[in-house]
Structure 1
């Protein structure tokens, strides 16, 4: 077996053991989100119950450490082999009304509710739990340490990126296909030039500032 293959197998075993040690004998799901820091688009969460046999999940890792192509391949594999996968979305209006933390917890709770199987405990990336009656166990750097959370991070990322690419077809000037809603230099410049859309988060300062600038231009020419 090649060295890289050995390393991947060892990492897989380590992360799977971590999950089982954290959850004990309980049936668990890994939960993660994507899009908290974006200026546009929803926050998306995924919940994943790993299969009993995870040998095909050797390359599952924190979504941020993977290429776009590899994330898409792994998201397909996870959906095909996991016991269950649930997706939850909190829309822009909910983010603006609740704040980003509560909206994220809401999306996580919806992802858990959309699982086809009941679980007894949630391994959740970060320091906060999900808005769910199922008990949460927060895991700092969970998308890197936990196999189930890493899988959830991949599924959530691919789902949200696909949605933002669809928005790009409607609003090409904002570059959503490339920035997926994050506040890149190009995205901020487009906000200043065209103002925000209904998909931008008005509770986020750069979006409010762009809206104010557009209103001044209208009033003062």
Structure 2
């Protein structure tokens, strides 16, 4: 039988899913250098894929354990925007499908903007339910950032009610005053897929809000720093004073009033 061309091998490798496939062994025995380059690349890619699937298995361990205990509507909750000097704190609650797979999803701060946008689109399309809660700068000043973050999370859970009522909450490093069974998980966005999904939705939602505020208050560059205390932001704050969305209880904002 005439051996496959390198092009044919490359095309066929794209359809192979398992390292135990006889075709892989066949390629390993092929002495052509170009084929060895192809099979080495395939093996490395497959190794990365297996590692990502194992990471996903670990990221869904809390959810699997809860489902084994009978819980079905498990919401992951996280927030974005506790640290900035301006803008709201945004929380999101997400209930994922049991068979959902989002390889590579982790702490949103470790993801590129494009990756966050990609996951955002997928989650909004495929999740069983998504709820978003917002506490603006005024609420933050009135309550303090910790209580305002908690309030935003409660709003996010309440927003789920239009689609689903969660029977268990997985929350990033916080407990909520809600009569629903819950667990607080330190660094939960790196340990729970549901919390990571909530963090991603919260982050993208807040970033988009800050882009809108940049158009409304163009002197501050909110689209660039999202309200965080960068050198550019502090210079604008010193020059123009606080905008209506600045957190006046935060230093150094209160020094420029």
Q: Same fold (TM over 0.5)?
A: yes
CA deviation after TM superposition for structure 1 residue 61, in Å: 1.3
1:68-88 Cα distance to aligned partner (Å, 9 max, x none): 011001101011111100000
What is the TM-score normalised by the length of structure 2? 0.78
Corresponding residue number in structure 1 for 2:23: none
Q: Which has the higher contact order (CA 8 A, sep 6+)?
A: 1
Q: Which residue of 1 aligns with 2:169?
A: 122
**Which secondary structure does the structure 2 equivalent of 1:203 belong to?**
coil
1:167 aligned to 2:217? no
Q: Matched residue of 2:196: which SS?
A: helix
1:104-141 deviations in whole A, cap 9, x for unaligned?
00000000001120111211001x21343323311001
Q: Report runs of 4+ in structure 1 exceeding 2 Å deviation.
A: 18-25, 130-136
Question: Quick one: distance in 2 between partners of 1:131 and 1:77?
Answer: 30
Provide the C-alpha distance between the structure 1 equivalents of 2:177 and 2:206, rounded to a whole number of angstroms.
Answer: 20
- Residue 210 of structure 1, CA deviation: 1.7
Partner of 2:178 in structure 1?
A: 132
Mapped pair 1:90 → 2:135: yes
Query: Is it true that 1:8 corresponds to 2:55 in the alignment?
Result: no
Secondary structure of the residue that 1:71 maps to in structure 2?
Answer: helix
Partners of 1:175 and 1:135 in 2: how far apart? 41
Deviations 1:119-168 (A, max 9, x none): 11211001x21343323311001000110000000000000000000111
The CA distance in 1 between the partners of 2:214 and 2:178, in whole Å, is 32
> Helix, strand or coil for the counterpart of 1:156?
helix
- Rounded to whole Å, the distance in 2 between the matches of 1:209 and 1:179 is 20
Distance 2:142 2:166 in 1: 29
Whether the 8 Å contact between 1:112 and 1:132 is mirrored in structure 2 is no
Decide which of 95, 99, 102 is 1:53's aligned counterpart. 99
Give ranges in structure 2 of 5+ residues lacking alignment.
1-16, 18-45
Partner residue in 2 for 1:62: 107
Aligned Cα root-mean-square deviation (Å): 1.3
Instruction: Tell which structure's C-alpha radius of gyration is larger.
Output: 2
Q: Secondary structure at the match of 2:228?
A: coil
CA change 1:131–1:188 in 2 (3 A) is farther
